[in-house]
Structure 1
Amino acid sequence: MIFHKIKSAFSVFGQFWGILSGKFRLQFVLISLAIVAGALLETFAVSVLLPFIQALLTPEELMRSSYMRPLVAFFRIKTTGSFVLFVSLGVVALYVVKNLYQVLSNYWQGKFRTNLQGYVSSTILKSYLHRPYSFFIANNSSALLRNVIGDANGIMTCVISMFSVITTVFIVFFMFIFLFVTNFTLALGLLLSALLVLLVPVFVLGPPLRDAGDNLRAMDSVCYKYCSQAFQGIKEIIVSHKESFFAEEYRKAYKKKNVYDVKVCVLGRLSANIIETVCISALILIVAISVVSGKALSEAMVAELGAFAMAAFKLLIAFSGLSTSFNDFIVQYAALSSAYEHLAGMELLPDEAPAEPLSFDASLEFKGISFAYETNKAHEVLHDVNVRIQKGDVIGIKGASGAGKTTFVDILLGLLQPSSGSILIDGTALTKQNLQSWLKKLSYVPQAAYLLDESIRLNVAFGVPEDKIDDAQIQTVLKESMLSDYVDSLPARENTVVGERGVQMSGGQRQRLSIARALYTNPEVIIFDEATSALDESTEKEIMESIDRLIGHKTLIIIAHRLSTLKKCNKIFEVKDGTVSVSEQT
């Protein structure tokens, strides 16, 4: 059982070590060495209390001691009063130095923790953003948000616990050396008592703590979900007067979370209470038994007991901290494991791999394309699709809801991988190696444009660093999307902040902004995924005028329900029962 616990501890440390990059590993080792030095300094600070107490009780005897005589002679100390003052100032100076060093060490540790937290959080997010689209279909966004933010916080707690354990282990080690030299009997009794009660957090409290920690993490995800739903659906919530329902759902989820939070709090601190009770009781009983048995307390023994009491007090704090740190580590084990899975052994990210060149001068072709979602592999959404799109075509895609129109486009965008078949661009198969080259030729306008809570300028450039934005291109695409008159009417013009999800703009203005964004990269192919279906007829007509101006300059693929939207298309793809039929239009 003990060996299994030791093996598990090494496994946990291995995961922690796997999370650290080269820079963080070096910093961790250096800080650990600084902690060891701090533990030595802490022990030395306690040990000097023994000569200090002796200086107060028997200064003459201490002045004649072998280790004090050279100092007395060097500093020419003549009187006991001067000697007591000398020892007192020495002890004060040592404690000032010790605590200044501790402040510096805490700064190093704090900087390491926060830097590591930022690294873990941003790297997990980066790893998610480079996952295939199917990953986001299969995973709840609240759980992913919990992993990005909550697990990074958990890692910081683990680091705090790790440094605390290192500090405590070395303080305990050095302090017990001092105690065994000072009073072997008392030290042995204290050590045996401490070892006995330290088994409590490992074998008794460990399993329920880990269980509570796992449940606490799961409920964090539920709370994230209800809070996210409340904000994302606020318009419908207000209109349908469901504020109380969503507030109550969040309250109930948080109430369940609090049950596990309290359990973690109580169990996490319980072992510290047990350690303090047992160790203090053992120490008092050993001293009491020595006195009752007739052993007189000499001045030297009083001095020893004073120093011993200070050291024992430090040890009690250390043991309590060790127990608490161990319990915190158990609680955050799930977060550590989750972060390790996302970070350790990460493969080369797609944007770091050189993309193979790919040209689009003639046509793109769906050749024998079939697709089924992982959740229902028996049902093929698309089956043996064979269609060709010539460069410059204006393709209209129609079909009933759920027929597979968006799936068709998602495969074209490389978001979904076909179950069978291939996409050919000028006869070259679309692969992971050339996908980035293909995506650079595409732009996508969805039904509901995702707008940043930023300026119009930043929304059009979307993802381009502010100092690298081409403002001339911004003005060009605002005109092409027929948005320039609206922008010019604003006091801050293109620097106007649109609000979260563009709430300060009308539906038509948001769609024009989305078209401007699509045009900013000067793509060869633009896909409109029911971009006008949520608009009224008048606004749709205005948006279609913007789209019609692109005919002859771009290859356009337009998904729409209204046939009037597709009247300018030269080909119509009808998606029905998993197949795609093609008809020409003049």
Structure 2
Amino acid sequence: MGKLLQNFSIPLKKINFILNSYEKRNLILLSVGSVVLSLTEVFSIGIIVPIVILFSNAEKFQTGKAFKLLYQLTMARNLKEFFFILSTAAILLFIFKSAYNVFIFSKQQSIIGKIYTRLTARLMQDYLAKPYSFHLMNNSSLLFKNIVEEISRFTGSYLNPSITIMSEAIIFLGVFLFLLILYPLVTLSIVLIFGIVVISLNILLMGRIGGYSIAREEHCRQIYVTAAEALSAVKEIQMYDVEKYFTDKFSNATKGYTQSLVKFNIASNLPRPILETFIFTLFLLGMMLSVFLNKSFTDLIPMMTVVGIVCLKLLSSISKIYLNIHVLFYNANAADIVYDIISSSDLRREEISAIDPRDLNIEEKSPSLHLKRINFRYETANSPVLEDFSLIIPLNQTIAIVGKTGSGKSTLIDILMGLLEPSKGLFYYRGSVISRNNIADYRKKIGYVPQNYFLTDDSICANIAFGIYAKDIDHKRLEHAIRVSQLESFIKDLPEGINTRIGEKGIRISGGQRQRIGLARALYREPEILVLDEATSALDKHTEEDFYNAIKFPGRPLSVILVTHRLNTLEHADHIFVMEDGKLAAQGNLKELAENSPVFQKMTNQKIISEVSE
């Protein structure tokens, strides 16, 4: 019993934590409404009693004190008129009960819907605010599953059953007390039998339902991951003719998911037919016993009618309570997921620096990006990518960072953009320490064009002014970004111009045009620092030359940070940093490195850095 109570207290604690005060207040009001609904259930059953007795044994009705009082209250002139008044009242009461039941259910679903809307938006906001390192460690399809699937399960198959259990428990209690007052011995016998059957079934099935829940969660995860991977790799799948592999993988996950769901549905709906059988058997056994004891049918009919009606109502409530308990525990991991996400969203990470800024001799207005004794290690790595790493990058110049795969250059770029937080060390921009307090403002100064950029299934305009409402777009900045990224002639040739939709991931346009849109997106922000991570790799030499000339214009200083493997691109760099094994191996201009740096020379010899054809 103690374990059972604990199992019920845990859901209530999680619901209390996840819901806000407004939602909890609405649930309390819903509980009050359930009490009223319980009273209407009792009255609707209670009014049947005098009708049945009057209809079956009018003489007994006239001798009962309670019935005499009821007769006087109605001010009926005869039994027929009294019967008519009671019947009319019963009909009106049942109509009211049905309407009120619909009202309570509608309110319940409205509350659930609003909670779903808030929580999905909350999780989306929370995931987007998570540090970049979090997304490096988590599969995006599973995060999508949490937002869509798990919130839906929490509200529809965890919170909703909890409310239903509460409502039906109140109704059950009211009807039980009513029957207990009328027929104490019969009531206790019925409830005892119900209890034995339900507890036995619960012991038998609850463990299996927990297993079905674990299997469902695992197969659901496989469905989301496999579908996301397959639909993102259609080109490769068709080229290598491996459609069957991915179809089978998805089908097996779906089959496992369906089997666990079918088994759960069978287990959770098993009690009702068993309880119905018990009730029907007990009902007939009671009648047989009464006949054996020579009881009068006239006396038995009212009791058997009332007990039968009440038992059906109790059966309905018990079945709903039992079913929803199983639904709640089957979907308990959805509540765990939502609870963990919301509870962890309030955690605050340590500040970026473990060094006192006063220990560093840096001028307050130093025109540079300055990394001082930076340490960084990925959670899954045994050793740090960068250790005691220092670097000064002059502003308003074009600098390049080169290195072979695994040298640490990508990690360095992510730190410079404020996406990754070092575990140790300080990061300065123009003499100010970059920390959690000002990281958002710092990122606004950066324009970023990655090697694999993201394009939405929207217009060219919406993709350039990424994340900005149409009414807020600055069209002068938009035109400037289009001109510098050399998209003008391409857009002019399109029937819908800048409003042309480019398809998912820009699939309806060429790779070069996709890259230009990525460049235009970064330039639209009018950044102080422009980070180009292999951003011009899809451009020919002359187009690339025109682009670099276009972004250099007087009156607007711009610092450009290049990550590239092309010698042609390095010709535009004023200064080059060479990375090797997480260390700064060399630096200088292209000529100096080509003549004096063995590391750089080795990279060119191994074609890690190479010339691009005309």
Quickly say closer, same or farther: Cα 1:457–1:201, change in 2 above 3 A.
farther
Residues 81, 264 of structure 1: alpha-carbon distance in 2 compared, 3 angstrom cutoff: same
- Which letter does structure 1 place at the counterpart of 2:47? V
Deviations 1:466-499 (A, max 9, x none): 3322233222222222212322332322222221
Shift of 1:72: 5.7
Report the equivalent of 2:173.
Answer: 173
Q: Tell me how far 1:412 sits from its aligned partner.
A: 0.9
Does 2:493 align with 1:492?
Answer: no
Gaps (5+ residues) in structure 2?
350-363, 592-614
Match of 1:296 in 2: 296
Q: Percent identity?
A: 26
From 491, 513, 519, the counterpart of 1:515: 519
Q: How does 1:55-134 map to 2 (within 5 A)?
A: 55-59=54-58, 62=61, 77-134=76-133
Normalised to the residue count of structure 2, the TM-score between the two structures is 0.88
Shift of 1:170: 1.1
Deviation at 1:361, TM superposition (A): 7.0
Bigger mean CA deviation after superposition, 555-564 or 365-374: 365-374
Q: Which residue of 2 aligns with 1:331?
A: 330
Contact 1:118 1:152 in 2 (8 A): no
Counterpart selection for 2:449 from 438, 445, 449: 445
> How far off is 1:371 after superposition?
2.5
1:541 deviates by: 4.1
For 1:454, give the aligned amino acid: D
Structure 1 residues 272, 69: CA separation in 2 closer, same or farther (over 3 Å shift)? closer
Say yes or no: does 1:370 pair with 2:393. Answer: no
Give the Å deviation of 1:250: 0.4
Matching of residues 74-473 of structure 1 within 5 Å: 77-156=76-155, 157-299=157-299, 301-344=300-343, 346-347=345-346, 362-378=367-383, 380-473=384-477
Is the contact between residue 193 and residue 279 of structure 1 (CA under 8 Å) also seen in structure 2?
no
SS in structure 2 at match of 1:205: helix
Distance 1:63 1:206 in 2: 52
Change (3 A) 1:345 1:67: farther
Instruction: Give 1:6 deviation, angstroms.
Output: 0.9
The 2-side partners of 1:211 and 1:459 are apart by 46
- Which residue number in structure 2 is paired with residue 551 of structure 1? 552
Contact kept in structure 2, 1:209 and 1:331, CA below 8 Å: yes
Q: 1:569 aligns with which of 573, 577, 580?
A: 573
User: Equivalents in 2 of 1:477, 1:71: separation in Å?
Assistant: 86
**Residue 100 (structure 1) shift:** 0.6
Q: Is the 8 A contact 1:524 1:554 kept in 2?
A: yes
User: Is 1:461–1:474's contact at 8 Å kept on the other side of the alignment?
Assistant: yes
Deviation at 1:209, TM superposition (A): 0.9
- Compute the displacement of 1:52 (Å): 2.0
Q: How do 1:14-25 and structure 2 match up within 5 A?
A: 14-25=13-24
Cα 1:153–1:545 change in 2 (3 A) is same
Cα distance in 2 between the residues matched to 1:546 and 1:349:
42
CA gap 1:135/1:473 in 2 versus in 1, 3 angstroms: same
CA contact (8 A) 1:19 1:340 kept: yes
Structure 1 CA distance, aligned partners of 2:293 and 2:343? 61
Deviation at 1:420, TM superposition (A): 3.2
Contact kept, 8 Å, 1:275 with 1:319, in 2: the verdict is no
Aligned to 1:13: 12
| Offset of residue 82 of structure 1 | 3.3
How far apart are residue 433 of structure 1 and its match? 1.4
Cα offset, 1:387, TM superposition: 2.1
Q: How many angstroms does 1:200 deviate by?
A: 3.1
Q: What is the CA-CA distance between 1:320 and the residue it aligns to?
A: 0.8
In 1, distance between residues paired with 2:471 and 2:365? 31
Report if aligned partners of 1:395, 1:556 keep a CA contact under 8 Å in 2: yes
Contact 1:454/1:498 (8 A) holds in 2: yes
For residues 111-170 of structure 1, give each alpha carbon's deviation from its aligned partner in whole angstroms, at most 9, with x where no partner exists.
111111222222122222111111112222232222111211211211221121112111
Deviation at 1:59, TM superposition (A): 4.8
Q: Distance in 2 between matches of 1:349 and 1:384?
A: 25
After TM superposition, give the deviation of residue 585 of structure 1 in Å.
4.7
Deviation for aligned residue 1:279: 3.7
For residues 46 and 454 of structure 1, do their structure 2 counterparts lie closer, same or farther at Cα, with a shift above 3 Å needed?
same
Over 3 Å counting, the alpha-carbon distance change for 1:526 and 1:425 in structure 2 is: same
- When the two chains are superposed, the root-mean-square deviation of aligned CA atoms in Å is 2.3
- Do 2:213 and 2:331's aligned partners in 1 also have CA atoms closer than 8 Å? yes
In structure 2, the CA distance between the partners of 1:394 and 1:178, relative to structure 1 (3 Å rule), is same
- Equivalent position amino acid for 1:225 in 2: V
Moved more, 542-551 or 4-13: 542-551
Take 1:349 and 1:542, find their aligned partners in 2: how far apart are those partners? 46
TM-score, reference length from structure 1: 0.92
Question: Quick check: 2:402–2:579 contact (8 Å CA) kept in 1?
Answer: yes
Matched AA of 1:307: V
In structure 2, distance between residues paired with 1:145 and 1:202: 34
| C-alpha distance in 2 between matches for 1:315 and 1:44 | 15
Change (3 A) 1:282 1:74: closer
Code of the aligned partner of 2:473: I
Give the SS at the match of 2:388. Answer: strand
Deviates further, 178-187 or 19-28: 178-187
- Tell me how far apart the structure 2 counterparts of residues 68 and 544 of structure 1 sit (CA, whole Å): 102
Greater mean deviation of Cα atoms: 465-474 or 115-124: 465-474
The answer to whether the Cα contact below 8 Å between 2:485 and 2:517 also exists between their aligned partners in 1 is: yes
Closer/same/farther in 2, CA of residues 360 and 204 from structure 1, 3 Å limit: farther
1:230-274 Cα distance to aligned partner (Å, 9 max, x none): 111112112222222211110111122223222212222223333
Q: Counterpart in 1 of 2:508? A: 504
Q: Distance in 2 between matches of 1:547 and 1:464?
A: 26
Aligned-partner residue type, residue 551 of structure 2 = L
For residues 48-105 of structure 1, what are the alpha-carbon distances to aligned partners after superposition, in whole Å with 9 as ceiling and x for unaligned?
1112222322457647865566776676643444333322221111111110101111
Question: Quick check: 2:366–2:431 contact (8 Å CA) kept in 1?
Answer: no
Q: For residues 360 and 256 of structure 1, do their structure 2 counterparts lie closer, same or farther at Cα, with a shift above 3 Å needed?
A: farther
Preserved contact between residue 572 and residue 585 of structure 1 (Cα < 8 Å): yes
Q: How far apart are the structure 1 equivalents of 2:229 and 2:337?
A: 24
The answer to whether the 8 A contact 1:480-1:546 is kept is yes
Question: Gapped runs of 5+ residues in structure 1?
Answer: 351-358
1:524 is the counterpart of 2:528: yes
Number of residue equivalences: 572
Q: Does 542-551 or 238-247 show the bigger shift?
A: 542-551
Q: Which amino acid aligns with 1:365?
A: H
Match of 1:584 among 582, 585, 589: 589
| CA gap 1:471/1:45 in 2 versus in 1, 3 angstroms | farther
| Cα distance in 2 between the residues matched to 1:142 and 1:417 | 24
Measure, in 1, the Cα distance between the counterparts of 2:544 and 2:331. 52
Asked if the contact 1:360/1:391 (under 8 Å) is kept, the reply is no
3-state SS of paired residue (2:393): strand
Could you tell me how far apart the structure 2 residues matched to 1:64 and 1:93 are?
Answer: 27
Q: For 1:549, what is the secondary structure of its paired residue?
A: helix
How far residue 314 of structure 1 moved from its aligned partner, in angstroms, is: 1.0
- Counterpart residue type for residue 242 of structure 1: V
2: distance between equivalents of 1:161 and 1:384? 55
Q: Identify which range, 62-71 or 388-397, moves more after superposition.
A: 62-71
